[in-house]
Every structure is written in structure tokens, then in C-alpha cells.
Amino acid sequence: MPTIPTPSATAPTRTKGRLFLVPAPLDFGCTELPELQATMPLGTLNAAAGLSHWICENAKSARAYLKRVNDITPLCQPIQALSLVELPREVHKKGDHSGNFDARPLLQPALAGYDIGLVSEAGMPAVADPGSSVVRAAHDLGLQVIALVGPVSLLMALAASGLNGQNFAFVGYLPQDPQDRVSRIRELESLALKTGQTQLFIETPYRNLVMLQALLHTLQANTRLAVSSGLTLSLASTVSHTTKQWKTVTHTLDNATPAVFALGR
Amino acid sequence: MPTIPTPSATAPTRTKGRLFLVPAPLDFGCTELPELQATMPLGTLNAAAGLSHWICENAKSARAYLKRVNDITPLCQPIQALSLVELPREVHKKGDHSGNFDARPLLQPALAGYDIGLVSEAGMPAVADPGSSVVRAAHDLGLQVIALVGPVSLLMALAASGLNGQNFAFVGYLPQDPQDRVSRIRELESLALKTGQTQLFIETPYRNLVMLQALLHTLQANTRLAVSSGLTLSLASTVSHTTKQWKTVTHTLDNATPAVFALGR
């Protein structure tokens, strides 16, 4: 596999290490744990197995992931011997793009020649997840940054929605206050209808059904709404209809499964 | 691998077939053809191998891809026996979201119980590529739509940029006219600085350097610009700096390698 750069093992072999962005499977928190190879390329698993230094959203879930990697490709070191550093809590909360967190100290091992992996709890780090401060710091330090292939729920949801994939936006979470939420839905719908730009957003799973209800009450009859839930899991589902049609179909959205919402024309 | 639904082979086994969105590797048109398993999960390759009916952007490149799949997982039928239907030319051109193309006739085999694969020349179908008309038609016909995991250059570029991944937009191509291009760059920069929304766009590779020059001449000194090129290939590179810094760094962008541009704060 010549095209996925092989990370250095325990002994550094280059002047500066690289930063690998390592996607994680989308089954975080699920009782069903599918085989990694169903959704993770071998190139990604091999690269992950070769890394001795990690920056992670949560050390416990990173170790659990690496344990599954080890079942397919032996890790370069026993899990207990790996260096795992957690991103500070405030970085999680603020969405990691306030610009105030200096991640350069976390990347010191790269200056000693070690490759470093960045991993979040599910999906691609730094996309709808913490990590961008680490990537920025890596560029500032002159490190090579290599994104590996893995599942990205936002783009899978967009592709499966049938909505415009030539022009789209992801806007994160919508407001929790019911009135603010309705205003924001109206704003996003107006933008989507005017410009043709599909609007994607997410919600904490336990508010999925409240969000769906707000959308169906607020959106115009001919606006298309797509909801993807449980992507890559056996219960994966994408329902995509105009608001009018939604009111007549059955869906299986629940308040436990991560979902991605998309609206447009 | 219980979580990637197994497509029906030649004989239909269910009332309605499903639509599988099958990602293709990002090496389209390259002389270097990396091993598929470096960037494609086995679950995706197995699903692709099981499909006898295809809708594709280009039949010749779809066959070339399936030939590579066959080297890893034997196809359910000889390549010559597969049913491959091309999307009409006008759908490619108009970006497939004018709403005028009725793709339902292409999905007739699904009504006879056959699963169908949708594939474009590179990356995820229906994302910055034709296919959304087929996905919409599938939902209209009540078919299950299943997006498989594979490389998506836009999201890899976003992750590797260090720019805001909690709020971002992909806006397709910028205008070719130099003055219009500058206006559009100013518009996107203003939006990105005001809202914090990272703006992603692409360019036909032979205009990469013209685009880069226009960006460096137009953007404010502290705006961050990231350019990812050759993603998943051995020449993969992401350069991410403020405009001011860009003017002092060396880069390897050329007029032949597909690139993704991102700007933000």
C-alpha cells in the first residue's frame, strides 16, 4: 500500500514527525460493534497501528478503538505503553475554534521526530468535532498533516439525501430554545430556497424527535427534509421527502441514535 | 461484516432493490493507481462486488474501477455481463440539480428487485458530482438508499485545513472571468470572517495556479487559506497559512493535480 504513508514506529526516523488525522467508526456508544473493516480501510488501520503518540478527545474511547485495531493489525506497542494525551475539556465545549487554545505543546513529540495521531470519539477529527486547534498548530510548526479515509456521517447523509451536493453548508447545532429554534429553521430554509444551498445540521440524539417535530411544523410544504440516522450501523436509515410527504410516511427516528438533518429544495 | 448490507447477487431476493452509493478512489486519471484497500473499506468493496446493476457517470471508468474491485473480491458476474447505464451528458453539465431530469426510469431494475449501485468517477456520488437526481428518484420510488464509506476529498481537505469544521460551506466552482472571480473571493472572505463559516471550493486542475494567485492577491493578510492537493495519493499535500505567511512559503501546487481550496479565519 504505497499511498498511505507508514508512520514511524517507536523510534523516530525523521527530523519532524507528521500529524495523522485518524477517523474512528461511527458506533461510539452503541451496543452493536460492527467489524472495523466494514467501514475502515486497511490503509487507515495500518497507519493507526503504527502510531505510538496520540492526541484524543477521550483517552478511554481511544484505547477501546485501538484495541479493536489491534485485533486486525498488531499495534507497534502494547496499548498501555502508548502515549495518549487528552484535549482539555474547554476545547470540547467551545467547539475548538475560539482561537484561544494553543495546541503546540501537545505536538512536542513531533518535534522530536514522532508521528502523532489525532482521533475523536466518532468520525473524522476536526469535522463537527474537536481537533482544528491541533491541526492549526501542526501547520504553524511546519508539520505535514495527513487526513486518512474513514466514515464521515455528514457527507454520507448529504449523498443519501438527494439534496444539492454541489452547494451545501453544515451549521452545527440549532438553538435549544423553542422560539429561537423556529427562527433559525426559518432562516436556514430561506437561505436554502433562495440560494439552492443545502443546509445540514445535527442535534443531541435525545432531542431528535423534538427537532423533527419543529421542522415539520415550521418548514414550507414543498421544502425537502432528509434525516439520516444510525449511519454505518445495521439500523441505518435515510428518509428524504418534502415536508408535505413526511406527514404521511412512517419513520424510525428515535431519541437515542445519532442523526444528521438536511433541508433544501 | 453484519453492518454493510449485502447486495443481492444476480437473482433478486426482495420485493424492491436498494440504491447503494458507492464511492470511488480519488486516483481517477492518475498514472499512479494505489491499491484499493489503502482507501476503500472491505465492506464497501464487498458491497460493490455484489451489485449486478449500475448507474454511473462514465461506463468506461466504472468498468475500470470494478476490474480493480474484482482483484480483491470476485464480482458476482463477469464485468461484460453487468448492466451499466450512464447518466445523460446534460446531467453532468448542469450539476444534476436543476430538477428537470427524471431519473426514475434508470431505477426500473430496483422495482424488479435488483439492488443498484451509483458510482461517479472519483469520490462520493452526488457530492460535488452528479447523482442527486438518482437519489431523489430512489426516495420517490420508496427505495432504501445506503451510502457506503470511502474517500471524500472535501471533508479530508477540511479536516486537514485547521479551519473551522463546526460550520462550513462548499460552494462548488468560482467564476472563470478574472473580475468576477475576485468579486466572488471577496464575497466568500467577507462571509467567512463575519460568520466564522469556512468556505470550501474547487477548480479545474489546469486553473489551480491562476486560482491560487487570485486568492493571494485578493485575500486580507490575516485570512487563512488552505490548499489540499492529490489527497490519498503519494503526492498528497495540505498547505495552510495566513495569506501573509503563504507569500513566504514554498508549495508544490501544480496545474494537473485535483485540489480543494478552503478559506476562513
The CATH number for A205's domain is: 3.30.950.10
The nearest alpha carbon in chain B to A233 belongs to B3
Domain-embedded: residue B6: no
Q: B133 with B26, same domain?
A: yes
Mean pLDDT of chain A: 91
Residue A56 has pLDDT above 50, yes or no: yes
Judge whether B231 and B156 are in contact, CB under 8 Å: yes
What pLDDT sits at residue A21? 97
Task: Return the number of other C-beta atoms located less than 10 Å from residue A211's C-beta.
Answer: 23
Judge whether A127 and B159 are in contact, CB under 8 Å: yes
Judge whether B17 and B112 are in contact, CB under 8 Å: yes
Residue A195, domain extent = 153-264
What pLDDT sits at residue A211? 97
Q: Measure in Å the smallest separation between the Cα of B169 and chain A Cα atoms.
A: 4
How does pLDDT run across A113-125, given as a tens digit for each residue?
999 999 998 899 9
Cα–Cα distance between B78 and B60 in angstroms, integer?
15
Task: Return the number of other C-beta atoms located less than 10 Å from residue B227's C-beta.
Answer: 24
Summarize the confidence of residues A126-135 as an average pLDDT: 90
Q: B85 with B137, same domain?
A: yes
Residues β-bridged to residue A260? A202, A228
What pLDDT sits at residue A29? 76
Domain termination site, one of B147, B179, B213: B147
Q: B162 with B79, same domain?
A: no
Kindly report the backbone phi and psi dihedral angles of residue A254, in degrees, each rounded to the nearest multiple of 5, phi listed first.
-130, -175
The total number of structural domains that make up chain B: 2
Q: At B182, is the secondary structure helix, strand, or coil?
A: helix
Summarize the confidence of residues A177-184 as an average pLDDT: 97
Question: From the candidates A73, A132, A173, A198, which should be mutated to test the interface with B, based on the most B CB atoms within 10 A?
Answer: A132
Domain-embedded: residue B1: no
Q: A259 with A168, same domain?
A: yes
Q: Measure in Å the smallest separation between the Cα of B211 and chain A Cα atoms.
A: 19
Q: B175 with B128, same domain?
A: no
Domain-embedded: residue B10: no
The helix (run of H) or strand (run of E) holding residue B228 is strand B224-229
How does pLDDT run across A193-247, given as a tens digit for each residue?
999 999 999 999 999 999 999 999 999 999 999 999 999 888 899 999 999 999 8
Nearest Cα to Cα of residue A131 among A178, A80, A182, A97: A97
What pLDDT sits at residue B34? 81
Q: A133 with A24, same domain?
A: yes
- Buried b / exposed e over B129-151, threshold 16 CB at 10 Å, is bbbbbbbbbbbbbebbbbbbbbb
Residue A90 has pLDDT above 80, yes or no: no
Q: B75 with B123, same domain?
A: yes
What pLDDT sits at residue B94? 54
> Quick one: pLDDT band at residue A13, thresholds 50, 70, 90?
low
Q: At B258, is the secondary structure helix, strand, or coil?
A: coil
End-to-end, the C-alpha distance of chain B in Å comes to 42
Summarize the confidence of residues A73-83 as an average pLDDT: 96
Domain-embedded: residue B223: yes
| A53-56, strands of its sheet edge to edge | A83-86, A53-56, A116-119, A19-21, A145-147
**Beta-carbon separation of A149 and B240 below 8 A:** no
Beta-strand relationship, A83-86 and A53-56 = parallel
Helix, strand, coil percentages for chain B (3-state, nearest 5): 35, 20, 45
The nearest alpha carbon in chain B to A98 belongs to B164
Domain termination site, one of A123, A147, A171: A147
What pLDDT sits at residue B101? 85
**Region for residue A234 given its phi and psi (left: phi exceeds 0; alpha: psi -120 to 50; beta: otherwise):** alpha
What pLDDT sits at residue B108? 96
Q: B140 with B240, same domain?
A: no
Q: DSSP string spanning chain A? A: -TTSPPPP-SS--SSS--EEE--B-S-TT-S----GGGTS-HHHHHHHHT--EEEES-HHHHHHHHHHHHHHS--SS-GGGSEEEEPPHHHHHTTT-SS----GGGGHHHHTT--EEEE-SSBSTTSSSS-HHHHHHHHHTT--EEEPP---HHHHHHHHHTS-SSSEEEEEEPPSSHHHHHHHHHHHHHHHHHH--EEEEE--GGGHHHHHHHHHHHS-TT-EEEEEESTTSTT-EEEEEEHHHHTTS-----SSS-EEEEEE-
Q: A78 with A119, same domain?
A: yes
Nearest Cα to Cα of residue B95 among B147, B131, B52, B146: B131
What pLDDT sits at residue A238? 95
Q: Measure in Å the smallest separation between the Cα of A158 and chain B Cα atoms.
A: 7
Judge whether B32 and B130 are in contact, CB under 8 Å: no
Domain-embedded: residue B11: no
Residue A157 has pLDDT above 80, yes or no: yes
Residue A156 has pLDDT above 70, yes or no: yes
**Beta-carbon separation of B149 and A126 below 8 A:** no
CA angle centred on A150, ends B131 and B151, rounded to 5°: 40
More confident residue, A93 or A118: A118
Domain-embedded: residue B81: yes
Nearest Cα to Cα of residue A259 among A235, A232, A216, A230: A230
Q: How many CB pairs under 8 A join A and B?
A: 227
Domain-embedded: residue A10: no
Cα–Cα distance between A51 and A114 in angstroms, integer?
8
What pLDDT sits at residue A252? 86
* ipTM computed for the complex: 0.93
What pLDDT sits at residue B10? 55
Q: B163 with B238, same domain?
A: yes
Q: A59 with A179, same domain?
A: no
Note the maximum CA span of chain B: 62
Domain-embedded: residue A136: yes
Domain termination site, one of A147, A173, A199: A147
Tens digit of pLDDT at every position of chain B (265 positions): 445 677 765 556 678 999 999 999 988 777 778 899 999 999 999 999 999 999 999 999 999 999 999 999 999 999 999 999 999 877 765 556 666 789 999 999 999 999 999 999 889 999 988 889 999 999 999 999 999 999 999 999 999 999 999 999 999 999 999 999 999 999 999 999 999 999 999 999 999 999 999 999 999 999 999 999 999 888 899 999 999 999 898 888 999 999 999 999 9
Specify the CATH number for the domain of residue B124: 3.40.1010.10
Which chain B residues are closer than 8 Å to A240 by Cβ? 135-136, 139, 145
Nearest Cα to Cα of residue B97 among B110, B109, B87: B87
HSE-up (13 A, CA, CB side) for residue A57: 26
Q: A133 with A193, same domain?
A: no
Cα-trace Rg, chain A: 20
